Amino acid sequence: MNLPLMIVHRPLDTPDRVHPTASQEVPLDDAPSIEGFNILVVDDEADTRELLITLLEQYGARVTAVASVAEALERLEQLQPDVLLSDIGMPDEDGYSLIRRVRGLSREQGGQTPAIALTAYARTEDRIRALEAGFQTHIAKPLEPAELVAVIKSFAGRDR
C-alpha cells in the first residue's frame, strides 16, 4: 500500500512534539492571507459551523457552511470551492463517505477539490484513514487558527 508522504516540521527544542501546541499560537497579523478564497465547510454541529465561518471570514475567506454530506454534494459543483473543510464524525453519512463521493466526481463537478479533514479523531490511524479516503490532510480539534489558515492556503494551490 502506497501512502502519501507527510512532512512534519517541528521546533528543534521540542523533539518529542509532532504538532505545534496552542502555546505556539501565531499572531493574527503573521498568519497567511486567504483573502478571496472560497471555502465549503461541512459540519453537523451548528456552533462549529459558526465558529469556522467567523474564523475564516476574519482571514478574508468567503465561506459557505452546510450541515450534511447531501448538502455539501448539492453545493460543491455550483460553488467550485478552493478548499473543502469537512468534519469526519457526522450522523447518517460521515466525512469519509463525503470524500469518497467527492473523489468519484469529475473535475468539472468538483472531484479534484482539495479537502481537509477537521476532526477530534486524532490518532495516527485516524490520519491514515483520512488520507486513504481521499483527504489531502487531517487537522485535529481543537485547532490552531493560524495553522488551519496556512494549511488551507497551501492546499488551495494559490500563492498570494
Tens digit of each residue's pLDDT (9 = 90 or more) over 33-54: 799 999 999 999 999 999 999 9
Can the peptide bond before residue 142 be classed as cis, meaning omega within 30 degrees of 0?
Answer: yes
Q: Does the pLDDT value for residue 71 go beyond 90?
A: yes
Residue 99 burial (CB count, 10 A): 25
Give the largest Cα separation in the chain, rounded. 47
Rounded to two decimals, the pTM is 0.78
Residue 124 burial (CB count, 10 A): 9
Domains and CATH numbers, the chain: 33-156 (3.40.50.2300)
> Which pLDDT score, from 0 to 100, does residue 9 have?
35
Q: Which residues contact 157 (CB under 8 A, 6 or more apart)?
A: 82, 114
Q: First CA to last CA across the chain, in angstroms?
A: 35
**Cell matching residue 126:** 485516524
Helices (H), 59-140: 69-79, 95-103, 124-133
Convert the pLDDT of each residue in 113-157 to its tens digit. 999 999 888 889 999 999 999 999 999 988 889 889 999 988 765
Amino acid letter, 43? D
